[in-house]
Structure 1
């Protein structure tokens, strides 16, 4: 069985990068090694893994990755801290703006 990971990296410029992989440690190393000059993290190294979530269904992993990529910084920071219960309130606040 293949496990897929949706992950968030904190970059050296304090931005966040969200991605998906089936080999989390290898992928974080690739980001830090600067394997791909066209990757967002190439110019924001070093990066630090601050969140990951496991999936056994690649389609669910892809869906969650897309969802997280669309989230505000505050929502990403909430899940990084494990404060999943804050997500509905943070969504309401965004809708008021």
Structure 2
């Protein structure tokens, strides 16, 4: 199972992060413990949404899309 997830910083609510994982709960704990250098300065994080994909290439493609301008607009309107 592969999940694309979207996080929002609790202390800096204008900051969002999306990623791919096989274990959403564990990954959120890693973000909140500072194990990810990309998200450590905006912790703590809350989970806004996650989306299941059967195969990793599709999950990675969706994550890549969410990191584009149109993907961010889509997420803001539909996923948050």
Q: TM-score, normalised by structure 2?
A: 0.86
Q: TM-score, normalised by structure 1?
A: 0.72
Q: 1:13 & 1:58 partners in 2: Cα distance? A: 30
Correspondence for 1:45? 43
Moved segments of 4+, more than 2 Å: 71-75
Larger Rg computed on CA atoms: 1
Number of aligned residues: 77
| Gap runs ≥5 in structure 1 | 82-97
Q: Which has the higher strand share?
A: 2
| Gap runs ≥5 in structure 2 | none
Answer 1 or 2: higher relative contact order, Cα 8 Å, separation at least 6.
2
RMSD between aligned alpha carbons?
A: 1.4
Q: Which has the higher helix share?
A: 1
